Structure 1
Amino acid sequence: MKTISSLAAAVLALAATGAQAADALLASPNGRITLRIADDAGSFSITRQGEAVIAASPLGLDLEGQPPLGALTLESRQDSREDRVIPLVATKASTARDHYLGTTLAFREAGGGRRLFIDARAYDDGVAFRYRLEGPAPVRVRNERTAFVPAGDPSCLVTPVEGAHELPFERLKISQLKTDAGYDVPVVCATPSGRTHYAITQAHLEGYTGASLWRDGAALRVRLSGVPKRDGPAYVSTGGLTTAWRAVMMADRAGQLIESQLVGNLNPPPRGDFSWVKAGKTSWDWWSGPLEGVKPDLAAYKRFIDFAAESGFPYHLLDAGWAFGTGPCCDPLPTTDITRAADGIDMPALVRYAGDKGVGLLLWVHWEHLAPRMDEVLDTYARWGIKGIKVDFMNRDDQDMVAFYQRLAEATARRHLLLDLHGAYVPAGLQRTYPNFITQEGVLGAEWNKMDRRITPRHNLMLPYTRMLTGPMDYTPGGFRNATPRDFEVRASMPLTQTTRGQALAMYVVYDSPLQMVSDDPSNYRGETGFDFLRRVPAAWDETRFLAGEPGEDIVLARRSGKTWYIGAMTADQARTQQVSLGFLPPGRWRATIWQDGEVVREVRRSVRNVTRSDTLMLSLAAAGGAAVILEPAP
């Protein structure tokens, strides 16, 4: 670290003097955030700008097979400072600044017994802590005693936890949450004054297990996920213990949390060369087809490949149905062999056909077919020339599944294969360590338009402020059969969406997914207004900036690729004229190409004008609508 604010230095000095006789304080580099940990390791609290964010909240571990930790005393602390820039590959920015003040607190059990370590970090945009136990003996953890007590009774954006993490978010006060159901991370709240917006989440699950949050009075208590059908503790180590990070992201406004790199920074940076990882858009054969999946058909596969090639997309995804012995989507039948293509499909020849057109192929697999023969399967795909895999239906976040994610990310990286996980738990930063783990689901996405009415405009405007905070989300946008919510009907094949064409375009800027689906059938894109924007918009970025918006209502997000800026604007049920200040642009003249809602739901109006950073764009958004803008240096 090159510099440290005077306030942060003063807090560190205060904490270091007489550390055994007082609570441990840790301040962020700019001094605005303070994490306090009690000198008996029994509680913690968080303040920002002098205001309580998290009130005094419990700390600790509930162990099995050994007595509970007795009275603890702070024995020592070791402070650290970090300020580095980490190059990133295929994500929402080209670099991440990892800038924090850290400490490791060592607590000793009364009578010279066991030691508990708490690692803590304070960033300018949040704090995080985790537990460690040293020694070679296995550790059996029934649960953590960790809980978060939000100051006041804040209104929060929450979603119930379930295996696939595909439920909508709603706004509820802590006191309104159920006590017999868990809630997923992140839980996104604001302090009573509204001066701090924050998200409670987790990071770096490697060698641990996932967790959910359960209301206990005024607290949100951490509950670890146990392995199904395994009695006993939720987590069993092979020796010693390092838990996941418990993290609280913080900002002045809810949308500013989108820019945060906190979750990624709490994970190890990548090791080795990942320059081969290429972000991009992909055509996809399942969304527009029947629920049971597309039957293996060489002509159909070539139709989608040809569409990707003529559109300039680098990938095509073959979803369920391509493998030998596959039944209707998507059960893991014992007859299925994912190292063989269905009769009539010569996969190496199809790979060569696509490759000659500049298109790489991605394959869908069920995780239960992959897990027991991972090396054999991945070696086969690498030999065929496959570019990546989409793995589905894990629907768990326990110790065994976390280990499966880790093993799969490493195995695909070693073979230069992209990885997309569906039926996945919410990101905890594994993408930082393995950039080939390029996107994942764990989101209530557009596929549900085929099955029910939950993909509402309001839901679409919740996602950027909630689920997207933790990492990329494979929402699968691109539906071009747009309808108003009133005219929408559920269709399994050739489904509709409940938003305008303008919002369909804006999603490609707003929604973070370096492998981005172009989900509809090729016949629904050719000659359609707005498809020229889909052909141009990137899938990964050099910079991301939140400009305006409120959860569930609207958003304006700007992202930069090279010297070109892209703006996505979306609104929920309320039509609006969105004013977008261009003050974020560098000096000079810029050419703005604008796509905004037209007179009917399936049209956009395209216009071009020259602008400077002193200008303001006035974007016309229909209800459930949106707009997209490209800003490039004027010739």
Structure 2
Amino acid sequence: MKFIKVLILSVLFSYATGIQAQQKYLVYSPDHKIEVTLSVSDSVYYTVKADQKELISASAIALDVDGKNKWKVAKTSRAKHNDILHPVVWQKSKDVADVYNQLRLDFNNGLALEWKAFDNGVSWRWLSKLKGDFVVRSETAKFNFKGSGKAWYPQEEQFFSHNEREYKNYTLDQLEDKKLASLPALFQVGELKLLLTESDLFNYAGMWLRGTGKGGVRGVFPAYPKVKAITSDRDEQVKQREDYLAKANGEQSFPWRVIMVAREDKDILVNQMPYLLGRPSTGDFSWVKPGKVQWDWWHYNNVYEVDFKAGINNDTYKYYIDVASKYGIEYVLLDEGWCDTRDLMKQAPGIDVAELAAYAKSKNVDLLLWSSWLVLDKQLDMALDQFQKWGIKGIKVDFMQRDDQEMVNYYEKVAVAAAKRKLLVDFHGAYKPTGWLRTYPNIMTSEGVLGNEISKFAGSITPSHTATLPFTRMAAGPMDFTPGGMRNVHKKEWAAAPSEPMTLGTRCNQMAMYVIYESPLQMLCDIPTHYLKEPLSMEFIKAVPAVWAKTVALNGKVGEYVTMARQAANGDWYIGSMTDWSEREFELSLSFLPDGEYEMQVWKDGINANKNAKDFKMEKLQVNRNTPLNIKLASGGGYVARLIKR
């Protein structure tokens, strides 16, 4: 009898344990079309459904903090959130709807897990409630995609990288463990697109991806540096790493893992999850001023038809300032060469920054200065204090090429130090943005993109590539692609010309980038001499702003074409359209316009643009929100328009 009782109790215990292991926690998007199901056992597992179709099958997530990897739920809480945010610096819009449902699980091991479900994606993050010092040994983040599909995959060789990658196309089953990628990365699962990235990355290591070999990917992370070596005036490489990812102390939140969900490709263009998941800013950033920037390095200061010797000298930069002033360009950037790369206080012969800053101020133009991260790290306070005294308004910080915890903390240190002196920041040789624009609005833009600078050396910046970026890299945040090339050519004519570069695609394709590509510091990459010779193109570039009050995605297909409408702060509307090497014709609706009549100024591919990529035509139309609009794009072509209410 005793044996039977023991057996019954054992069976009941096993059954109860099974129930515990199979306990489910659900969170839905506000419109109930996206569903996340969590289960807790040896790890935490999640699945994601959209429109009742499974997109991500049961996938493990975990955080190993000093071996605290036992998962028992102690408390569950839920919340609904509905708010409107007003960004200090506009990117896609002046107002951002922040609407989500939240689920939080607090575990007995001192950790918590928080999920947010939006109508256009889901995200999770870990939180620590631990006391004292601890280390994060590892993090598990798996994405087991359901069924077949394909990827736009920014494949990398190693963690030491500028993250300037071509998005390679793979089927999901081709994603093997050896295929490393940086973020963001885009995947098609069934008929939907999923974009993976992260937000609120502070005091932690950045997430990368590796294939699982089973139709999915998993997060991987650069461990904390143990041995480093300076290998040049700008490079510090990690030679040996610790057996942990990050060091921490006390309560801390970890980065958000972001999964955007798009039913149409164009939905990605208006998704603002990285911004929404960034932590709010503190302090006064009302001094931050977006704008366009005349850049020098792309063409090696190769101005001509002037009465002075062109190069890195004050005469050349005064010429840049004069042209910027003529076209209302807010900034001129002095890139590499203005100073010794090992000493920011040692100016190059022929350069007097104080004199240039005073001259620029007299022309209503401000200056930005370049620095490698390594010398800036050594001279941070001294250099930024001097820049402030000179009247410099921002810095371009270059060649970090890492996102381990130590380097991530460097980014924040620079942002804070720059903000203290009311300096803007542009990060180059950098990882993708992770909600910076919300947390530190003085971080205006960053690279981490295979951009126009490569056109100096290689023909890889194709219209197919540039029609991919709005759906991939730009989804993470502002990108310093550096548009504005005037020597426009087709494939057969392209050649490397580093001091007078060519760009692939038509003139209107380059012009459309000023509407399509988001960067509150938006570069003009070409020689000022070229701009002076192109008054019709400059009529548009002079007018187009660098930030937007409203964005409407009109159409789009990854790597093929994209069309957007955006409203400027003054109420004017702009339309931009780009295509790959295929000619296209679109019927567009102007229903996004408010009521009223508009003058529409158009710059479109000329009748000979398929032969001569520089060919374009201007015209003026009278339209309203009911006017049908037909646009034609040449091979590698583009289209831009400005609509002014009468």
Which of 117, 124, 130 does residue 135 from structure 1 map onto? 130
CA distance in 2, matches of 1:138, 1:49: 44
Q: What TM-score comes out, normalization by structure 1 length?
A: 0.91
Report how far residue 135 of structure 1 moved. Answer: 1.7
Which of 573, 576, 583 does residue 581 from structure 2 map onto? 573
In terms of Rg, which structure is larger?
2
Unaligned runs of 5+ in 2: 1-18, 226-237, 303-309
Closer/same/farther in 2, CA of residues 476 and 348 from structure 1, 3 Å limit = same
1:452-481 CA-partner distances (Å, limit 9, x unpaired): 111111111110110000100000000001
Q: Paired residue for 1:105?
A: 105
CA distance in 2, matches of 1:241, 1:269: 15
Q: Paired residue for 1:38?
A: 39
Which SS does the other structure have where 1:530 is aligned? helix
The 5-angstrom pairing of residues 65-76 of structure 1 reads 66-67=66-67, 69-70=69-70, 72-76=71-75
CA distance in 2, matches of 1:230, 1:185: 21
Counterpart contact for 1:542–1:559, Cα < 8 Å? yes
Which of 285, 290, 299 does residue 288 from structure 1 map onto? 299
CA distance in 2, matches of 1:403, 1:570: 37
AA in 1 matched with 2:530:
N
CA distance in 2, matches of 1:601, 1:198: 34
The 5-angstrom pairing of residues 380-391 of structure 1 reads 380-391=386-397
CA distance in 1, matches of 2:386, 2:621: 51
Query: Does 1:592 find its partner at 2:600?
Result: yes
CA distance in 2, matches of 1:383, 1:391: 19
Report how far residue 20 of structure 1 moved. Answer: 9.4
Closer/same/farther in 2, CA of residues 188 and 345 from structure 1, 3 Å limit = same
Which SS does the other structure have where 1:237 is aligned? strand
Aligned residues: 595
Q: Paired residue for 1:5?
A: none
Which SS does the other structure have where 2:417 is aligned? helix
Counterpart contact for 1:420–1:440, Cα < 8 Å? yes
Closer/same/farther in 2, CA of residues 30 and 545 from structure 1, 3 Å limit = same
CA distance in 1, matches of 2:641, 2:251: 52
Report how far residue 241 of structure 1 moved. Answer: 4.8
Counterpart contact for 1:139–1:240, Cα < 8 Å? no
CA distance in 2, matches of 1:166, 1:199: 18
Report how far residue 150 of structure 1 moved. Answer: 1.2
Counterpart contact for 2:174–2:213, Cα < 8 Å? no
Closer/same/farther in 2, CA of residues 524 and 295 from structure 1, 3 Å limit = closer
Report how far residue 167 of structure 1 moved. Answer: 1.2
Q: Paired residue for 2:335?
A: 319
Q: What stretches of structure 1 move > 6 A for 4+ residues in a row?
A: 18-21
Which of 155, 164, 167 does residue 165 from structure 2 map onto? 167
Report how far residue 442 of structure 1 moved. Answer: 0.3
Q: Paired residue for 1:198?
A: 194
Residue identity over aligned pairs, in percent, reads 35
Query: Does 1:146 find its partner at 2:141?
Result: yes
CA distance in 2, matches of 1:107, 1:136: 15
Which SS does the other structure have where 2:522 is aligned? strand
Counterpart contact for 2:478–2:518, Cα < 8 Å? yes
AA in 1 matched with 2:266:
G
Q: Paired residue for 2:16?
A: none
Counterpart contact for 1:20–1:75, Cα < 8 Å? no
Counterpart contact for 1:207–1:242, Cα < 8 Å? no
Counterpart contact for 1:20–1:73, Cα < 8 Å? no
Closer/same/farther in 2, CA of residues 100 and 614 from structure 1, 3 Å limit = same
Q: Paired residue for 2:183?
A: 185
Query: Does 1:550 find its partner at 2:557?
Result: yes
Which SS does the other structure have where 2:467 is aligned? helix
CA distance in 1, matches of 2:430, 2:441: 17
CA distance in 1, matches of 2:420, 2:81: 30
Which SS does the other structure have where 2:489 is aligned? coil
Counterpart contact for 1:24–1:36, Cα < 8 Å? yes
Q: Paired residue for 2:26?
A: 25
Query: Does 1:272 find its partner at 2:293?
Result: no
Query: Does 1:622 find its partner at 2:631?
Result: no
Q: Paired residue for 1:260?
A: 271
Which SS does the other structure have where 1:139 is aligned? strand
Counterpart contact for 2:155–2:168, Cα < 8 Å? no
Which SS does the other structure have where 2:321 is aligned? helix
CA distance in 2, matches of 1:374, 1:95: 35
Closer/same/farther in 2, CA of residues 489 and 344 from structure 1, 3 Å limit = closer
Which SS does the other structure have where 2:72 is aligned? strand
CA distance in 2, matches of 1:533, 1:497: 19
Q: Paired residue for 1:305?
A: 321
Which SS does the other structure have where 1:59 is aligned? strand
Query: Does 1:368 find its partner at 2:374?
Result: yes
Q: What TM-score comes out, normalization by structure 2 length?
A: 0.89
Report how far residue 217 of structure 1 moved. Answer: 2.9
CA distance in 1, matches of 2:409, 2:311: 33
